[in-house]
Structure 1
Amino acid sequence: MNESILRRVLLVIAVVGLAGGIGVWRTGLGPFDAGTIWTVATLPVVAALAISIMRDFWIGRFGVDAIALVSMSAALLLGQPLAAIVVAIMYAGGTVLEDFARGRAERNLKALTDRSPRVAHRQSTHGTERISIEEVVVGDTLLVRAGELLPVDGILLDASASIDESAVTGEPLPERRGAGDTLRSGTVNAGETFSMRASAVAEESTYAAIVRMVAAAQTAKSPFIRMADRFALFLLPATLLVSGAAWYVSGDPIRALAVLVVATPCPLILAAPVAFIGGVSRAARTGILMKGSTALEALAQVRTAIFDKTGTLTIGGAELIEIEAAPGRDVNQLLQLLASLEQASHHVLADSIIRVARGRQLMLSHPRDVREHRGAGLKGRVDNISILAGSRSLVLADKPLPGWARSGEEKYRDEPVLRVFVALGRRLAGVFTFGDAMRADAHDTLANLRSAGVTRTIMLTGDDGATAKRISSMLDLDAVVADAIPADKVAIVEAEKAMAPTMMVGDGINDAPALAAATVGVAMGARGATASSEAADVIVLTDRLGPVAEAVRIARRTRAIALQSIVVGLALSGVAMAAAAMGQIAPVAGALLQEGIDVAVILNALRALGDGRQRRA
């Protein structure tokens, strides 16, 4: 029989036995007296608990369930069957409560597993066939219909697609993807049917990794949880000592029984794992993967945060920083013309320009008579307008800059940027500046980390000092280290870790050693940096920095809830034991009191599943 069902059956037997005994006691009817009925209803719980304890002892595990066995057995031997049946109900009810609490905390894993992709539509010369995702191989062309889950990771082949990534990243609105963009399994096609090329098999795709990591978090024990388990081992001898002393001093064995009854914290020690599982599940809902409760506990204690620059504090690519337009020229028209022309280019900037134009909902035209000057720029016609785009030397030759463009030239003279000059009909119409731009949420993220208790923030980069200084001047940092090779990064991380628990945040392959060396490694995994993700303890699936601060907040709140549940629950049990030893609590009342404590503690631990922020009306 399933153990969860068995626990429910035992609870039903105990409750029916209690009710039946009370009925006989009140009416005086029936072949047996109330005490016999209560004793018989208690015995199945005692037997099941004894078997469970022996089985656990056989595999080297020992817990506080033994206190419940001792208290029920002592109640029966001392002729207190009512106390025994109440303890049996409290114990059986506690185990059912444990199942409920664990089920609530693990509900996210079940939801993840239930929506895992199972089929794919593979295209071939013979048409489209429906296959299991296990049959997909790298390079397969797959058709994804409207509303379907993406079966594996892949590359978009069509011009564009609308993807709902909420289940993977927590982003509520669909994202627009263009040809060549990376797509992740487990996301949903929120638009029209499109084609993609598989870049990974099912087991190595994003969604399978999410399920594996959250599943591992269900069983992994953090040092905090192991400490709670070890503490539980001292509870049995301490309880026996207090109950024996109460009996010795008072000469009343019932007092000893009352102490045993109130010291039955079976669900109590479950509070820590329930809270940690809840925290990991909560983080997964917001696009943050934590590799087990150990990672969560370590993250809760960080005091120093080290950030890589490129791709972490900055966007990590040639992004459009500024458009300077000649007087009388419309910025969006310039962008539309340039993006239309760049459709015929293979330059590294072409994708960025086209993406910005599409992001502004600009309609692109088909370029004609395109001629590429390798390494310098493009010339062609768009909507019957002659357009030349490229380097200053290509567009202006020896001509001087017009007055409106001189301020921009001075502004970016010593900056690591790319400048694209655009001429319409032989006259300079605009200048587009591209560079590694600061993430929009970088400043807020650092502020939120300080609010969460991080006292030291450092930027660690392999870039030169001038570039590092430009970025750091816009942020509230405690230190900046530039020109760092991977070995230098590891050395700096280890030096900081020796002074305080340290978090390293990075996204590139060269960050992997530093991520592994830190107390907690956090990988910006949205762009699929496999090496850094494998070395990290925490992976942020969204292409934003903000979730790093959110991960720390969730971790600290979760650990605080777990600690609160353990300390308050055991303190209340200690007070109840003292009161029982002094004869202030009877065995039956003690059992009811202890169950109330256990329920309160478990419900408190379940708060880790929530957001924790105060809502304003």
Structure 2
Amino acid sequence: MPSPKKALWSAVRLNRAVLALTVIGIVAHFALMPIAMAPVLGFATMDWPLFGVVAFGGGVLIVEIVLKLLQRDFGADFLAVIAFITGVVLGEYLAASLIILMLSGGQVLEAFAMRKASSALNALADRMPTVAHRKDGENITDIGLDDIAIGDLIAVFPHDTAPVDGVVVDGHGSMDESYLTGEPYVVSKAPGASVLSGAINGDAVLVVRAERRARESRYAQIMQVMQEAEQKRPKIRRLGDQIGAWFAPFALLVAFIAWYLSGDSVRFLAVLVVATPCPLLIAIPITIMSAISMAARRGIVIRDPTVLERLPTCKTAIFDKTGTLTYGRPELVEILPVTGRTASDVLRLAASLERYSKHPLAVAVLAGAKDRKLALGDVARVSEKPGQGLTGAVDGHDVAVTHRKKLIAGDPAMVDILPPSVSGLECAIMVDGAYAATFRFRDNPRADGKHFVGHLGPVHHFKKIMLLSGDRESEVSHLSQLLGIDESLASQSPEQKVAIVRREAANAPTLFMGDGINDAPALAVATVGIAFGKHSSVTAEAAGAVIPESSLQTVDELFHISITMRRILLQSVIGGMVLSIIAMGFAALGYISPVMGAVLQEGIDVIAIANALRLSLVHNIHADLVDGDD
């Protein structure tokens, strides 16, 4: 069975063929008009080129519309079938050919415009290699990505792109993972360190053991998200079908009344021809894809296009704390070593190991070591399992970076050894199996947070703003007061977050913003879910929009992109339909012939589509000032 994508492009090629034949047939018709008026087999010679158009193009048209009707898609396209059949019955072959030209031309234009509008989304595909270098002993063989098996050893050459998720087994170097974070962030790599597909290697050869198949890798997930964004049929597109559903009976009624009152069947045809707004409805997906492209140029991944429709309607805003209203980049503020160890010694060991971690606290530990000008040690046997912490060997010492709960669960006596728990973030350091120190961190609020939260009500008409977090009450309350959020809830589990978001969404359209796997369920049940997709692919999958660079300014740009999209879309749809209705009135009164009506409707549709494409040409989007420095 052909894939949906192949079927789509087969339909595009077929419509191109129909369009080419129709243009040739119409041109030949007008070319023969001065010299071939004599009838042949009872038909004017100049009409014979149109018969091929009617036979081939009309057959394709009828098959496509019948398939839509079988799917209960009763829209404006149905008018085209009636108008086409009426034109053939009445001998208006030019009008029938122009209907085919209008439909096939509109569909070809749609394919071109949507491909043009979504070009920014396809840029990711250019990063991925087409082959991988499989290492078997001393031999290296080039294989296709689909041939990579779990456990294969893959050599990643300098400046190449990692083709699959895996773990380094040989080599020391670094990789650029900025496509995940939106920031120029290079991660050091050593045996035991994880590698994400799509990351660009540095200057050294790394041998990576494949942990996933290429189609299951992180990069493949990103590409799947992008494809879903293009293929998913959003609610606002169905609005176009709804318009067609009421417009088609209305146009038929006007056509029948014109025919009945005038007794002229040609008026029936003229009304239907001028009322065929199929390319007009193409303006809807073009506008949507243009908005998705504009968002992509600003580092926003629109996973579900419905967010562009729903975002301006949201009245309740709910935020997670860490990584959303804070930077998600904690700073090391205190080191509490046990007797017999110095803060610098423990920090040097921990920082040496943290070089190979992508945990948010790793950056803070490394920054602390850099501030103290500590020389980092040699590392081996790096391991980082979710929920288990980071382990490895540093200069012959077994070092583990873990957390309070894990230590107490393993040894309840640790309650008396660990320092008192306070607000904020912390981690515990073990050296050679013994507790060595506790590191404490502080995650500062975003500089633009107060401005952003404060403008949601006056500018974007939000009625309620909440802060939900799994952190301690003292941290959450402190942040709420700083940002001016009246309602906040602390120590919330993922299940509790889901219940709260679902309750609020039942009362009013609700926006939820979060960062982290524990936010994924809440993102999924909100009217609109926006993820700061820096660390978790699960979060990105659950959200309707993903902002990798974690910027509230970018969120505000998304607001304005969606507002602009709705405005342009309504201009195209309502304006085009109004012009069509006016033209229907003139056709019903006999002032517009079927051929004139087809030309006029084509002009209306081109105007509507050109207006829709206007969004893809916009490079600057207005956004409100949310800079914390102003």
| Structure 2 length-normalised TM | 0.74
Residue 492 (structure 1) aligns with: 500
8 Å contact 1:493–1:502 — kept in the other structure? yes
RMSD across aligned positions (CA): 4.2
Measured after TM superposition, the shift of residue 135 of structure 1 is 4.7
Q: Secondary structure at the match of 2:324?
A: helix
Matched residues in 1 for 2:38 and 2:159: separation?
A: 64
Measured after TM superposition, the shift of residue 460 of structure 1 is 1.1
Measured after TM superposition, the shift of residue 595 of structure 1 is 0.6
Residue 565 (structure 2) aligns with: 558
Q: Secondary structure at the match of 1:161?
A: strand
Q: Secondary structure at the match of 2:549?
A: coil
Measured after TM superposition, the shift of residue 306 of structure 1 is 1.0
Kindly tell me: are residues 240 and 306 of structure 1, through their superposed partners in 2, closer, same or farther at Cα, counting changes over 3 Å? same
Kindly tell me: are residues 314 and 215 of structure 1, through their superposed partners in 2, closer, same or farther at Cα, counting changes over 3 Å? same
Alignment pair present for 1:585 and 2:606: no
8 Å contact 1:459–1:472 — kept in the other structure? yes
8 Å contact 1:304–1:501 — kept in the other structure? yes
8 Å contact 2:166–2:195 — kept in the other structure? yes
Q: How many residues align?
A: 547
Alignment of 1:82-121 (within 5 A): 82-108=94-120, 110-113=122-125, 115-121=127-133
Alignment pair present for 1:227 and 2:234: no
Matched residues in 1 for 2:444 and 2:138: separation?
A: 47
Alignment of 1:425-444 (within 5 A): 434-440=441-447, 442-443=449-450
Q: Look up the equivalent residue of 2:176 and give its one-letter code.
A: I
Residue 515 (structure 1) aligns with: 523
Kindly tell me: are residues 24 and 355 of structure 1, through their superposed partners in 2, closer, same or farther at Cα, counting changes over 3 Å? same
Q: Look up the equivalent residue of 2:367 and give its one-letter code.
A: V
Kindly tell me: are residues 569 and 183 of structure 1, through their superposed partners in 2, closer, same or farther at Cα, counting changes over 3 Å? farther
8 Å contact 2:305–2:544 — kept in the other structure? no
Residue 389 (structure 2) aligns with: none
8 Å contact 1:452–1:553 — kept in the other structure? no
Kindly tell me: are residues 444 and 291 of structure 1, through their superposed partners in 2, closer, same or farther at Cα, counting changes over 3 Å? same
8 Å contact 1:320–1:435 — kept in the other structure? yes
Most deviating of 150-159 and 262-271: 150-159
Unpaired segments of 5 or more residues in structure 2? 1-8, 336-342, 379-420, 429-438, 624-630
Residue 475 (structure 1) aligns with: 483
Q: Which of 288, 302, 316 in structure 2 is aligned with 1:304?
A: 316
The share of aligned pairs that are identical, in percent, is 35
Kindly tell me: are residues 440 and 142 of structure 1, through their superposed partners in 2, closer, same or farther at Cα, counting changes over 3 Å? farther
Matched residues in 2 for 1:278 and 1:614: separation?
A: 13
- Listed one character per residue, the Cα deviations across residues 120-164 of structure 1 (whole Å, up to 9, x for unaligned) are 335565465544434545666644323322212356786652526
Q: Look up the equivalent residue of 2:162 and give its one-letter code.
A: L
Residue 575 (structure 1) aligns with: 582
Q: Secondary structure at the match of 1:613?
A: coil
Kindly tell me: are residues 297 and 69 of structure 1, through their superposed partners in 2, closer, same or farther at Cα, counting changes over 3 Å? same
Alignment pair present for 1:177 and 2:184: no
Matched residues in 2 for 1:113 and 1:230: separation?
A: 35
Q: Which of 336, 348, 356 in structure 1 is aligned with 2:367?
A: 356
Q: Look up the equivalent residue of 2:497 and give its one-letter code.
A: K
Residue 595 (structure 1) aligns with: 602
Q: Look up the equivalent residue of 1:564 and give its one-letter code.
A: Q
Q: Look up the equivalent residue of 2:485 and give its one-letter code.
A: L
8 Å contact 2:531–2:547 — kept in the other structure? yes
Residue 221 (structure 2) aligns with: 209
Unpaired segments of 5 or more residues in structure 1? 324-334, 369-412, 421-431
Kindly tell me: are residues 222 and 419 of structure 1, through their superposed partners in 2, closer, same or farther at Cα, counting changes over 3 Å? closer
Q: Look up the equivalent residue of 2:519 and give its one-letter code.
A: D
Q: Secondary structure at the match of 1:26?
A: coil
Matched residues in 1 for 2:252 and 2:159: separation?
A: 61
Kindly tell me: are residues 610 and 492 of structure 1, through their superposed partners in 2, closer, same or farther at Cα, counting changes over 3 Å? farther
Residue 401 (structure 1) aligns with: none
Q: Look up the equivalent residue of 2:476 and give its one-letter code.
A: A
Matched residues in 2 for 1:122 and 1:544: separation?
A: 39
Measured after TM superposition, the shift of residue 284 of structure 1 is 4.3
Rg (Cα) greater in structure: 1
8 Å contact 1:445–1:548 — kept in the other structure? no
Alignment of 1:321-336 (within 5 A): none
Measured after TM superposition, the shift of residue 478 of structure 1 is 3.8
- Listed one character per residue, the Cα deviations across residues 38-58 of structure 1 (whole Å, up to 9, x for unaligned) are 642542232332233334334
Alignment of 1:194-593 (within 5 A): 194=206, 198=210, 200-316=212-328, 318-320=330-332, 343=351, 351-352=362-363, 355-356=366-367, 365=375, 416=424, 434-440=441-447, 442-443=449-450, 445-446=452-453, 451-528=459-536, 530=538, 532-593=539-600
Q: Secondary structure at the match of 2:492?
A: coil
Matched residues in 2 for 1:22 and 1:2: separation?
A: 31
- Listed one character per residue, the Cα deviations across residues 275-327 of structure 1 (whole Å, up to 9, x for unaligned) are 3344344444544344433344333432222111123322446424699xxxx
8 Å contact 1:339–1:350 — kept in the other structure? no
Measured after TM superposition, the shift of residue 349 of structure 1 is 10
| Structure 1 length-normalised TM | 0.75
Kindly tell me: are residues 442 and 120 of structure 1, through their superposed partners in 2, closer, same or farther at Cα, counting changes over 3 Å? farther
